A = this chain, B = another copy of it.
Amino acid sequence: MVTLADVARDAGVSASTVSYVLSGKRTISAATRARVERSVERLGYRPHAGARALAGSRSWIIALMVPLRTDIHVPVMLEIAMAVTTAARAHGYDVLLLTGDEGAEAVRRVQGSSVADAMIVMDVELDDERLPLLRAAESPAVLIGLPADPTGLVCVDLDFEAAGALCVGHLAGLGHRDIAFVGGAPGVYERHTGFAERTLAGVRAAAREHGVRVLHRPCEGNYASVAATLDRILEERPGTTAYIVQNEAAADPLLALLRQRRLAVPEDVSVVAVCPDDVAERASVPLTSVAVPARDMGRRAVEAVVAALDGRPAAGSVLLPPSLTVRAGSGPAPAAG
Contacts and interface: CB of A to CB of B under 8 A. Distances in A.
Interface of A: 1-2, 44-54, 59, 61, 64, 66, 68, 70, 74-75, 77-79, 81-82, 85-86, 89, 94-99, 101-102, 108-109, 112-115, 221-224, 252-253, 256, 259-260, 278, 282-284
16 contacts: A44-B112, A46-B108, A46-B112, A46-B113, A49-B53, A49-B59, A50-B51, A54-B54, A64-B97, A68-B82, A78-B78, A78-B81, A94-B97, A224-B284, A256-B256, A259-B260
A48 B44 CA distance: 27
A99 B82 CA distance: 7
User: Which applies to chain A's interface (DSSP): helix, strand, loop or mixed?
Assistant: helix
Contact of A114 (B50, B54, B74, B82): B50
Given A49-B113, A50-B50, 13 more contacts: A49-B115, A50-B53, A64-B97, A66-B82, A74-B74, A74-B79, A75-B75, A78-B81, A89-B99, A223-B252, A224-B284, A252-B252, A252-B253
Contacts of A101: 86
A282 B252 CA distance: 13
A113 B54 contact: no
A253 B99 contact: no
